[in-house]
Chains A and B, each alone.
Chain A
Amino acid sequence: AQKITQTQPGMFVQEKEAVTLDCTYDTSDPSYGLFWYKQPSSGEMIFLIYQGSYDQQNATEGRYSLNFQKARKSANLVISASQLGDSAMYFCAMREVLTGNQFYFGTGTSLTVIP
């Protein structure tokens, strides 16, 4: 079964608007972490934000916030005030204590910011 599901292959957003990228996960491990990475056209994977399964509050990092709904097993990334430089692939990933240190990734969402 897929551990991480990203159902939006491509998304468009107007510059300065907010956008939500969806991510759902599947785990029976109570101890896990959820991550979002950005991959611009240059190829490098840039860490954006982290949410731990025990964290009581939603994570925020500048214009990025993570809408963590534990009961629904969703960890959507919200980008506020989109900028042209936000155009990239975005990957949701998860790590579990039980399965060790590997990341499970989704297939990614390609975000295009329109001027």
Chain B
Amino acid sequence: EAGVTQFPSHSVIEKGQTVTLRCDPISGHDNLYWYRRVMGKEIKFLLHFVKESKQDESGMPNNRFLAERTGGTYSTLKVQPAELEDSGVYFCASSQESWAANSWETQYFGPGTRLLVL
């Protein structure tokens, strides 16, 4: 079974440009999450999809970030226009259920997209 995949693995862009990151979750996983790790800091939650609906987008930094999940399969995260502070590693994760039977299901992470804004 294929894991979570992300594309591209690396992206180097100039300030003001647009970048679109893609995430393909594990097949059948309704829950999809985006996280970001800025250099030296902790990994921080950005948003959560359940199928095609945004369940929680409280972690999105500002309106330069737009996430979509049309059809409830893959997701894209667009940054427009990119700023220097957007540099970091963007992780996507997916899971089937969340909380069930007094237990959490783990989230399975992709390898991340390393974004560098110059």
Residues of A that sit less than 8 Å from B by CB: 4, 31, 33, 35, 37, 42-45, 47, 50, 52, 54, 91, 93, 95, 97, 100-108
Contact = CB atoms under 8 A, between A and B. Distances in A.
12 contacts: A43-B9, A44-B111, A44-B112, A45-B91, A45-B109, A45-B111, A47-B106, A50-B106, A101-B31, A104-B45, A105-B42, A105-B44
A47 to B, nearest CB: 5
Interface stretch (B16-24, B71-79, B95-103): B95-103
B43 interface: yes
Interface string B74-118: 000000000000000101010000110011101111111010000
B90 to A, nearest CB: 11
A44 B93 CA distance: 11
B43 A105 contact: yes
A31 B99 contact: yes
B111 A102 contact: no
A93 B106 CA distance: 10
Nearest to A95: B104
A103 B45 CA distance: 7
B59 A102 contact: yes
A35 B112 CA distance: 19
Contact of B102 (A43, A45, A52): A52
Contacts of B109: 37, 44-45, 47
Contacts of B3: 44
Contacts of B111: 42-45
Contact of A100 (B9, B41, B43, B48): B48
Given A45-B91, A54-B102, A101-B31, A106 B110 contact: no
B7 interface: no
